[in-house]
Structures are given as structure tokens and as C-alpha cells.
Homo-oligomer: A and B are copies of this chain.
Amino acid sequence: MYTYGRHLLCEVSGCDPSIIGDVDKVKEILYQAAGLAKAEIMESTFHHFSPQGVSGVVVIAESHLSIHTWPEFGYAALDIYTCGEHTDPEGALNYCSEKFGASEVDITRIERGLKEETGGFSHRLSNVGAA
């Protein structure tokens, strides 16, 4: 299996609290996002915190999508990590951002699983910025 993967590490701001605070909606959005990323869903787990907040992970054949939300701040910490050249993590991010009603996304893109000549593996930041 390919070790090469792309990881989008995102702080998503200005989200609709009624969406990111609803565990069923968050799960549905992440499932759709995984499909748009051309990923194969293996398993998932989602948790609703009291009084508010959602944490969830979708394990895909190509790594994972994870989310933690703070509806009281309209904020979600989102990670989309997909291995393989066939995947589209950016498509998944765009979909999530739109569905959450986000106004701002701070993104760091990381290329992971890079094989070094020494035999070890490394990662590389491919850019840093806001979208």
C-alpha cells in the first residue's frame, strides 16, 4: 500500500452552531465528504458531548477524517488525511466548509509518508495559509 498521503489540518470558523452541534448532521456531512474524497469508509465513531460539542472520526481505507466542534464558538477542528494519488482531500474540505456555513478556514497542508534515502519516513508542509 502507498504510504504517501495528504493531510489537511484545519481550523474552521464562523460555522452554524445548529449544524456543528448536531451529531447526526456532522456524521452525515463527514460521510458525504469521505465519498467526495473518493475514499472507502471502513468504520466510524461519533460522540455528542454534554452540554454541547461533537467529536467524530471516520476511518477510511486511505487513513481518516476527524472533527471536534465547539458550537458555542462556531468553531470546528477538522482533519482530512487521505493516502493515495486517487483521493481528493480538497474536495472533502470544500464540501465540509460549505455545509458547516463556515466563514473562514485556516489550513496547513502536510504531505506524509515520504520515504527518505535513510529508510525512514518524514512529512513536509506543502503550504500554510488561510482560505
User: How many residues does chain A have at the interface if contact means C-beta atoms less than 8 Å apart?
Assistant: 50
Could you tell me the distance in whole angstroms from the C-beta of A8 to the nearest C-beta in chain B? 12
Whether the pair B128, A125 counts as a contact (CB closer than 8 A) is yes
| A87 at the B interface (CB under 8 A) | no
In the complex, A25 has a CB within 8 A of chain B:
no
Copies in the complex: 2
Q: Which of A1-44 contact B (CB under 8 A)?
A: 1, 3, 5, 7, 9, 11-14, 42-44
Binding site for B on A (CB under 8 A): 1, 3, 5, 7, 9, 11-14, 42-45, 47, 49, 53, 55-57, 59, 61, 63-64, 66, 68, 70, 73, 75, 77, 79, 81, 83, 103-104, 106, 108, 110, 112-115, 118-123, 125, 128, 130
